[in-house]
Amino acid sequence: MRGKSPIQDRKRIHMSLQDTSKTLFESLNECRRRLGDLRNRADVPALSVAMFRLEAPGTIPFHGQAFSRVLAGKPYEVQPYIGLGESFSLGFYPLADDLPTERILSALNAVERITGELIPLLRELPRSALALLRLPQTENWWRIVFHLGWHLPRAFLRPTRRRLLGHDAVASGIREEVVIQLHGMARTG
């Protein structure tokens, strides 16, 4: 009995990869559709999120004081994250001004039930796509979203890119990221 030829083996492998990719992208699209459906539900208010992450050694502001300065009186919910090699805090806040704080968590839970399925799917992307995206090695969906928004702002989320500047855990100002990158810290005061 003769074995399969190398050409037949390559065809079989190629077909298997196509099937895997198709299933992966169908799963990603299903998550995208379900997230989109949340926008139309009255019981899931629209939220936004701010991230505080230190770029120098020190402690992360897990308390709400840093978020209070940026969110200017909006209600918010803080979630700290301590992982391998980095720590940050996320402040989730409603886009509507009149939303009670307790509704923030219920809206966030609805979103995170879906986004929890996305991280394993992202890890299955083709190596070439992963190399291009350079996704952080984390299980925190929001860290991945911030990475994509920061590095692909025009093509992806169009985030507001600002930095809260400070020294010795005291905030000294909020500046646009572009100004800091173009002129450094000397011209931000």
Full residue range of the structural domain in which residue 32 is found: 6-122
The band of 189, judged by pLDDT with boundaries at 50, 70 and 90, is very low
Mean pLDDT of 101-110: 88
The band of 100, judged by pLDDT with boundaries at 50, 70 and 90, is confident
Q: Is residue 108 part of a domain?
A: yes
Q: Is residue 76 part of a domain?
A: yes
Q: How much is the pLDDT for 164?
A: 67
Q: Is residue 133 part of a domain?
A: no
Mean pLDDT of 23-33: 86
Q: Is residue 25 part of a domain?
A: yes
Q: Is residue 131 part of a domain?
A: no
Q: Indicate yes or no: pTM above 0.85.
A: no
Pick the closest to residue 176 from 92, 144, 165 (CA basis).
165
Q: How many domains does the chain have?
A: 1
pLDDT at residue 7 greater than cutoff 70: no
Q: Is residue 57 part of a domain?
A: yes
Q: Is residue 127 part of a domain?
A: no
